[in-house]
Structure 1
């Protein structure tokens, strides 16, 4: 069955306290290759049958209206994986 993956991230202009905490932990653990961390959400929507343009449009609508908070988050990706 195909799966539609939706990725949601905090808006770039907003602080990401979780990411900041992980970045702080990295430095305490000796990880120095990364300058910052941003933490988002991943949703996997399983589809019965074929992924049509209508199904993708519905996934986009659901991502925008239900899975993300448009005030503080952006839907950054919607892709089909087999």
Structure 2
């Protein structure tokens, strides 16, 4: 009789554990779907201007590229949530 109760309690514990972890995975998947990032690129007119323009236009974070070939103008990369 004691083995029957122990088996039933282990099964119940396993099901509760399974439901707990499966619920958190679904929440993470929905959260990741909401956090999509978009990007815009334009000619950089200075680091401060790039940051300000990106923030004011899209509510994002802008950075000028650090390394470009001499004939290519620096680019402002703006990342924001869309």
Task: State the TM-score, normalized to the length of structure 2.
Answer: 0.32
Task: State the TM-score, normalized to the length of structure 1.
Answer: 0.32
Question: Which is higher, the Rg of structure 1 or of structure 2?
Answer: 2
